[in-house]
Structure 1
Amino acid sequence: MYKQAGKRSAKRWISLVLATALAFGLAGCSGGNSSSSEPSKTSDFNKEGMPIVNKPVTLKVLTMRWGNMGDSFKQNQWLKDLEKNTNVKIDWQVVSSNDWGEQKSIMLASGTLPDIILGDQTFSDSDIVNNLSYFRPLDDYIDQYMPNLKAAMAETPELKKISTFPDGKIYSLPTRLPSRPKTKNQPVINKAWLDKLGLKVPENVDDLYNVLKAFKEKDPNGNGKKDEIPYTETGLSPDFLNPFGITDINANSMLVKDGKPEYYPISEEYKEGLKYANKLYAEGLIDKELFTQDGTMTSAKQQNADAPIVGFTNQWTPDAVFGKWSSQYATIPPIAGPDGKRYNPGDPNGMSFNRNELLITTSCKYPEVAARWADQFYTNEASIQNFWGAIGTVIKKNDNGTYTLMDPPSGTSADAWYWDQSLRDFGPKYVSPSFEKSIVLNPKAGDGLKLEIDKMGSEYVTTPFPNVMYTAEEFQELPTLTTDIDSYISSMRAKWVTKGGIDKDWDAYVKKLNDMGLDKLMKIRTDAYNRYMSVK
């Protein structure tokens, strides 16, 4: 009892220290939080041209990095040049994802924020919607001080759609990342096993069944053991149901069919997909531990030390998860379903759009300076340098107007190098679709490899349920509905895959979902969808 009380006291003490540190360390350039949205302009501000201010101004910018990544990105030469050219000095506040949850709670409770929040992993839609008084509406700033972003929104209307909050205003800035694929995950199979058994790449669900059966029975890894697992994942991934028209890139059980939102766990396609999964499970073609293992257990099987034991899965790239066995795996075209059609999860506009990449807080004394500073990120060259690394360090600018990514240092993966040298996924960016033709990527590794294998599935990509925005009231109601509904759906899915009985249970299952408030959930989702689609 004494130990528990001591831990609670220590935790309260740590929280108090953190709150004090945040109050002093993260106060904006105005010297603290102000709920006023009125800017305090500097007479040294230049609306156009460089520098942005004649006398240096310091802005505090908070961003998050994964784990122990640190702040090496600050050495990016483009960022250094930006500071010199604009006269805007940046006091970077770099926080680790390991600590950010508690720090964020304290920051929002205290109302003490820096001038700028950068990166979509810092504050979520819910964080922003429920604390709007801390963040400046940016519509007027975009109109007056951000010609690069304004032009980008005119060229690519999706940027405005994803950035518009339910009240019709823009509080956070968007991104369009360069050279992103249309497909998300794609089917990946052990090609070495196919070749050894003399099998062709499966075209449809019947072919896949036959291939997985051969994987189980014919010892394709050649070790004389019955250790092959034809299919494994952590739970039944929605990707497994892709051949049945189920594509879900947001993991929210929603898709768009004939231009309308649909909740697929009550659809006939979902029902047929689970019947197929049950058939495979009953014959040992799906991992018996599918619904009981965690990600660590799944990874251990994918990277089994003695021999490859996994036959089929869905992944971003074939080298993403299989460790030293990666060379045996290959991406294949989407598996055709019972209707003869192929479906691939992704986005026809490209997996490149996001919001909440930059917010200007009401603590900021010079929001017009912050807006002009942010606008410098919305050029083609700025964006590629903040996604991969600086020209001359990571990117080579060629005489013919193209841009080539250099090879990473020996012993470093390309992705790790890009994170070390740039803001990478975080922060505002815009690369014009026409400019992407000038970017030369290595087709055998990293982002270039994904674009190559993307060609197999891009024509089959379905229109996803969009990344919609919810109101504060909707955010309050959603967890009450989704917690119980999602839990029930998950338990019934596990039951039907492992034990069968879906036909017998189906009507009662649908009725129970309706009793649990599925109609309310669909109204919230549909209202948000209609708001999103109405933005021009």
Structure 2
Amino acid sequence: MKLSRLFSIVGISALTVLALAGCGSASNKTASSGDAKVATSGFPIVEEPLTMSLMAPSVGAANWNDMATLKDYAKKTNIKLKFNTPPSSDFSTKLNLAFASQDLPDIIYAAGSALTPANEVSYGKNGQLVPLEKLIPKYAPNFNKLMKDNPMIRQSITTPDGHIYALPYIAKDTTASWYIGPMWYNGEWLKKLGVKTLPKTTDELYALLKRFKNEDPNGNGKADDIPLTDVKMNVARIWLMPAFGLLTQDVQNDGDKVFYTPIDKRYKAYLTYMHKLFAEGLLDKDTFSQSDDQKKAKGQADRLGLFSDYFSYFTTGRTVDESMNDPMFQPLTSPESPKAIVPMNPRINRGDFAITKNNPSPAASLRWVDYFYSKKGSLYLNQGPEGYMWDYAKNSQGDKVKVTAKGITDENSEDKRSKITPAYGLTAPMLTADWDDAAVRKNPDDKIVVSGFTKWVRNETKEKIDPYGRIPYPLVYLTKDEQDSVASSANDLKTFVEESEAKFITGVTPLSDWDKYVKTIKGMNVDQYVKVYQAAYDRWKKAN
């Protein structure tokens, strides 16, 4: 990662941290919470030292007891934490065991998908998680402001019983709108073929892929050019299905109507198109069997024309600057869908900060995390305290500015950062945003300039995703009865649909079997599945 990106956000290894409005330190009003006196603003949060336990997944980069940011924050807040950080791979199992045994930590942090919406509902109802909605206005003013500014946040984290049991990770940065990750065209191939305008329809894409296959764009004299590739269609599906009006391989709402996309007639049109690409050698024959490393090897051998990755240079092996010649895929239209659309991420990851019934001071815990929903606090969590990733220096005008700490380079910055903060490799509870004034200078007199690559990625996103983006289906909660009614069919449907997709595209199953395929899905309780998600959507909409 370039150093200019380090403090403006995001490594691939993590959705990291930047945020909105500072938490003041001037006044120190206090309020009672259990046995602790909790300041409603400023530091320290409590006058008397308070010790609590925190459970979180570890990515293995450093011991949390040794992280400079957490050590420094303990001094600021007067709150000491005892960390229980099992490896990420074991965290879900360990967390469920903690709930089952009632041996709960005081705080559950950065749990992400391990604290599922179903678990929030269940553990909240059982009294194992503390409702937060009444405490938030006083003890989490930064987060409360975010909910006021964007009502969808409250809608998305309020369970059917009307409570908020966990706070989320919230993203406002440009790339957070990406549903998964983009697809990229090989810019060198486009230049070789004289392509000036990217495809805007499925027919135009087909024509370009034919040229990629037949006109030797990599110039090696071999018929080894692969027009389109992916790993199990996991990303390509997200960008090609919308050409037929579908945003997900699950439930989608068009207006207020919820339906199951894999049995929609437009899904058959998508499968028909993809089978045509596969049959004519335009879709990589290894798509459903190759690993990501195998895909990357083809990219580094300059054999790929259109491919998926977070950034194109991860696949091609080119430099960051060279990758700016690889344009982002833009949404297509088709006879089935004359208006371009693309799925957009809701920019909220639920379940990242919860307080259990054992917690001695929920108010102090909320104050502790709320700082990271402010710009100042999230920059602090991302960059650490002075002297690790950055230092202060005076420029020629005598202004005090942040400069890169000695020994920090583009090559080692993420590794160094992973040692000082938990906001690495995890969806930590905080807000991220594109704040260019967060940039750190290499020299005191350097101007704060967003890197060319950062500008380019933002522009590509604003041009090719933001105008066409729509959330396929909102973040909802199911009641316990609703969960029970669809639990047995959800995984079966997902597995059957994905397996059938591969068979239809490769021709193992002929498209003439479409009616048989739909009948099979109908027999898998899909009508009840849709009914449940329609009811959940109606509740979600009403909550606004």
Relative to the length of structure 1, the TM-score reads 0.80
- CA 1:290–1:509: 2 relative to 1, 3 Å: same
8 A contact 2:72–2:385 mirrored in 1: no
Counterpart residue type for residue 245 of structure 2: G
8 A Cα contact 2:272 2:511, kept in partner: no
Alignment CA distance shift 1:395-1:502 (3 Å) = farther
Aligned pair in 2 of structure 1 residues 243, 385: CA closer, same or farther (>3 Å)? farther
Structure-1 residue corresponding to 2:358: 363
Aligned counterparts, 1:105-504, within 5 A: 105-121=96-112, 122-132=114-124, 133-181=127-175, 182-184=177-179, 185-200=181-196, 201-237=198-234, 238-239=237-238, 240-248=240-248, 253-303=250-300, 307-324=301-318, 327=322, 330-339=326-335, 340-347=338-345, 352-387=347-382, 389-390=384-385, 394=389, 409-410=408-409, 412=411, 419-424=418-423, 425-430=426-431, 436=435, 438=437, 442-445=450-453, 450-457=457-464, 458-499=466-507, 504=512
Structure 2: distance between partners of 1:93 and 1:452? 41
Q: Which has the higher contact order (CA 8 A, sep 6+)?
A: 2
1:202 Cα offset (Å)? 2.7
Separation in 2, partners of 1:207, 1:76 = 53
Structure 2 residue aligned with 1:82: 73
What is the CA–CA distance in structure 2 between the aligned matches of 1:477 and 1:420, rounded to whole Å? 44
Return the offset for 1:208.
1.6
Q: Tell me the TM-score normalised to structure 2 length.
A: 0.79
Query: Following the alignment from structure 1 to structure 2, what is the Cα–Cα distance between the partners of residues 333 and 229?
Result: 16
Closer, same or farther in 2 for the Cα pair 1:481/1:279, shift >3 Å? same
The answer as to whether partners of 1:230 and 1:287 remain within 8 angstroms in 2 is yes
- Deviation track 1:216-240 (CA, whole Å, cap 9, x = no partner) reads 2222222232222211112234223
Structure 2: distance between partners of 1:309 and 1:146 = 52
Letter of the 1:410 partner, please give it: T
Change (3 A) 1:472 1:334: same
Assess if the C-alpha contact under 8 Å between 2:137 and 2:144 holds in 1: yes
Contact 1:73 1:423 in 2 (8 A): no
Tell me the alpha carbon deviations over residues 175-199 of structure 1, each in whole angstroms, 9 at most, x when there is no partner. 3234243333333111111212223
Structure 2 counterpart of 1:341, which letter? K
Of residues 84, 91, 111 in structure 2, which corresponds to 1:93?
A: 84
CA offsets per residue over residues 465-512 of structure 1, 9 Å max, x none? 112222233333433112322233223322221228765323332222
2:505 and 2:56 mapped to 1: Cα distance? 43
Aligned-pair CA distance for 1:316: 3.3
Deviations 1:223-266 (A, max 9, x none): 23222221111223422323222223xxx523232343232112
RMSD: 3.3
Match of 2:529 in 1: 521
Distance 1:192 1:359 in 2: 49
Tell me the CA shift for residue 156 of structure 1.
1.9
For residues 47 and 491 of structure 1, do their structure 2 counterparts lie closer, same or farther at Cα, with a shift above 3 Å needed? closer
Q: Which runs of 5+ in 1 are unaligned?
A: 1-38
SS at match of 1:464: coil
The 8 Å contact of residues 161 and 532 in structure 1, kept in 2 or not, is answered as yes
The C-alpha deviation readout for 1:49-86, integer Å capped at 9, x for no partner, is: 543222111111222133x2224696454x44432232
Structure 1 residues 404 and 206 mapped into 2: Cα distance closer, same or farther (>3 Å)? Answer: farther
Distance 2:77 2:93 in 1: 34
Which residue of the partner structure matches residue 54 of structure 1? 47
Given that 1:159 and 1:175 are in contact with CA atoms closer than 8 Å, whether structure 2 keeps it comes out as no
Q: 1: distance between equivalents of 2:473 and 2:269?
A: 21
- Which range moved further: 489-498 or 500-509? 500-509
- 1:75-121 Cα offsets, whole Å, 9 max, x none, are 454x4443223211222333321332442343233221211111142
SS of 2:474's partner is coil
Residues 486 and 528, structure 2, Cα contact 8 Å, conserved in 1: no
Do the aligned residues in 1 keep the contact of 2:65 with 2:71 (CA within 8 Å)?
no
The offset of 1:160, in angstroms, is 1.0
Give the Cα separation in 2 of the matches to 1:285 and 1:429.
43
The answer to whether the 8 A contact 1:179-1:451 is kept is no
Q: Give 1:26's aligned residue.
A: none
Secondary structure of the residue aligned to 2:533 is helix
Cα deviation, residue 312, structure 1: 0.6
Change (3 A) 1:404 1:55: closer
Percentage identity across paired residues of the two chains: 27
- Paired residues in the alignment total 484
Match of 1:479, SS state, is helix
Judged with a 3 Å threshold, the aligned counterparts in structure 2 of structure 1 residues 284 and 46 are, in CA distance, closer, same or farther, namely closer
Provide structure 2 residue ranges, at least 5 long, that are not aligned to the other structure: 1-31, 440-448
